[in-house]
Amino acid sequence: MLKRYGAFILAAGALAFATGTADAQTPKRGGILKFAVSAEPPNYDCHGATSFAFIHPVRPHYNTLLKFDEPNYPKVKGDLAQSWTVSPDGLTYTFKLKPNIKFHDGSPMTSADVKATYERIATPPAGVVSIRKAAYEDVASIETPDPQTVVFKLKARNASMLTNFASPWDCIYSAAKLKQDPKFPEKNVMGTGPFKFVEHAAGSHWVGERFADYFEKGKPYLDGYRAIFIRNTAARVNALQAGEVLAEFRGHSPADQTKLVNALGDKVNVHESPWVCSLVVTFNTEKKPFDDARVRRALSLAIDRWQGAQALSKIALVRHVGGLLRPGYELAVSEKEIVQYPGYGKDISKARAEAKKLLADAGVKDLKFKFLNRNVPMPYTPVGVFVIDQWRQIGVTAEHDQPETKAYIGNLRSGNYDVGLDFNCDAVDDPNLQLLKYISADKSSINYGRYNDRKLDDLYEKQKRELDPKKRMALLRDFEKHALTEAYTFPTIWWHRIIVNWKQLKGWHMSPSHYINQDLQDVWLDQ
């Protein structure tokens, strides 16, 4: 009898567990997701924006042609595109669009809208700012043989085209609206995305509501979302701790992570990932003695990146030692290989002895300079202090100069500095984006080292055109080795992304970029 009931109880328990598990995995409909954003978008035009503060509130209103496959980043998948083919010569990209896609005003979305959108990005009309124009400079023409098909023809092969088409910034706009006014997206939010625009209270919040006619049936799960702008870090963490917001999608410092986990325990999930951002030391090569590669290389050799990564990871959001591409990225250098690069060896005494010799060879004694840094506490200040201390150990004195952001950027861009702590942070790992910092100043507006190096330009161009991943990898290694030997600009320690969200937030996936996976269409609330 007992045995029979025991079996029944066991079976019932198993069923309950199975149901519970299934319930936990089955998205629930409803609820408003409240999340914090530490800055605010100035206007509403995706094509002219660069900040995550734009992506987090605005992206849920839009779709892109492709997007990143969240759990399998950096693989891409269709967003508006149902399927696509690339011609064997790599010059023609043909996209078939998903059926029955509507804009929020009820009008159908067709290939004409995709064409108008990409023409706006590649050849912006007068007065329209297009930030990613260069990404589509290889596009020769865009054709629309039928309303569901769009064909991009390229002038030259480009290994990053699929990544470009998955860019979170390439929001698809209505051709009709753009025809009426090319600046329509600056002041209006009207896309095909999972959420319709409701309200933007400047300085306070942004509200989106579920788009009932969204083409992905059953999605989005949320009734809506409310992005609350909280600039002050302590206020943001307090808001999370109090449950006023359930998430913040940019990242937390280790100290804030500890505070939240101590306070909320198992009520929160902690997500961690290497981050596609790094702080880089850059030299004004127009100033002596930083025009001498020996001096630059000496200052790179003096930095103990391996010990520094361990120590700094406890207090700052940096953790990973890497070359020019994010450690862990499929095209990045391995640890085995990177220890051969100048400044990356694990014997720091030997490296510092070499650094001192290089300075002596260059005739540089008692080197003193101002080290320009941004007055942002995390992670700029601790990394700046760390680097200065490392240089002190080879007899170099650097004065930490931390003006506010606008003066910092202004000084970097105008060359009004000796040595600076610059940042390299774009939406994705793609080498065409990440290496722009390192190519010649006459080809890249973000090369603040003010140098021209044709070898780097040549290698950059070759890797850009190379569709074979192995060959591209080899070119990237050549680029990296040369850049780090010349040491015009070199990475310190790569960032580490930490996200602490309340557990009832489901369906959101961590990624190495705080710019992607923010359409919220798969996010739901377990409450």
Partner 1 sequence: MLRYTIHRLLLMIPTLFGVAVLVFVLLRMMPGDIVELRLLMDGGQVSPEALATERARLGLDKSLWLQFYDWITGIMVGDFGTSMWTGRPVIDEIGSRLGLSLQVAIMATVLAIIIAIPLGTIAALYNNSWIDHAIRVFAIAGLAVPSFWLGMLIILALLYSFEWIPPLTYVPIWEDPLHNLSQLIWPAIAVGYRYSAVATRMTRSTLLEVLHEDYIRTARAKGVYERLVISRHAVRNAMLPVVTVVGLEFAFLIGGLVVTEQVFNLNGIGKLFVETVTRNDYTMVQALVMLVAAFFILINFVVDLLYAVLDPRIRYS
What residues line the site for partner 1 (CB under 8 A)? 42-43, 48, 50-53, 124, 127-131, 133-134, 186-187, 201-205, 226, 228, 230-232, 234-235, 238-239, 241-245, 277, 403-411, 413, 423-427, 433, 436, 444-446
Least CB distance to partner 1 at residue 426 (A): 5
d(CA 286, CA 299): 17
Distances (CA, A) of 243 to 209, 240, 267, 507: 21, 5, 10, 19
Nearest partner of 347 among 339, 359, 356, judged by Cα: 339
Nearest partner of 344 among 294, 388, 308, 383, judged by Cα: 308
Q: Which residues of 270-279 are buried (b: 16+ CB within 10 A; e: fewer)?
A: ebebbbbbbb
Least CB distance to partner 1 at residue 518 (A): 14
If you search the block for the tokens 């640890």, which residue do you land on? 335
Distances (CA, A) of 218 to 34, 41, 82, 276: 21, 29, 18, 33
Tell me whether residue 123 or residue 334 sits nearer to partner 1 (CB atom): 123
Tell me whether residue 354 or residue 429 sits nearer to partner 1 (CB atom): 429
Distances (CA, A) of 354 to 8, 29, 239, 338, 345: 75, 62, 50, 18, 12
Least CB distance to partner 1 at residue 516 (A): 14
d(CA 218, CA 149): 25
For residue 249 the two structure tokens come to: 């999608």
Residue 64 contacts residue 165 (beta carbons within 8 Å): yes
Tell me whether residue 260 or residue 362 sits nearer to partner 1 (CB atom): 260
Tell me whether residue 203 or residue 218 sits nearer to partner 1 (CB atom): 203
97-102: Cβ within 8 A, 24+ apart: 97/147, 97/148, 97/149, 97/150, 98/215, 99/148, 99/215, 100/215, 101/63, 101/192, 101/215, 102/192, 102/213, 102/215
Cα-Cα-Cα-Cα dihedral of 339, 342, 346, 350, to 10°? Answer: 140
Least CB distance to partner 1 at residue 431 (A): 13
Least CB distance to partner 1 at residue 346 (A): 29
The alpha carbon of residue 27 and the mean position of all alpha carbons in its chain are separated, in whole angstroms, by: 27
Nearest partner of 77 among 200, 165, 184, judged by Cα: 165
Tell me whether residue 88 or residue 203 sits nearer to partner 1 (CB atom): 203
Q: How many CA atoms lie within 13 Å of 432's alpha carbon, on the beta-carbon side?
A: 22
For residue 107 the two structure tokens come to: 């009008």
Tell me whether residue 389 or residue 457 sits nearer to partner 1 (CB atom): 457
Tell me whether residue 234 or residue 311 sits nearer to partner 1 (CB atom): 234
Tell me whether residue 6 or residue 243 sits nearer to partner 1 (CB atom): 243
Tell me whether residue 80 or residue 166 sits nearer to partner 1 (CB atom): 166
Least CB distance to partner 1 at residue 425 (A): 4
Tell me whether residue 4 or residue 406 sits nearer to partner 1 (CB atom): 406
d(CA 92, CA 124): 22
Residues recorded for the chain: 527
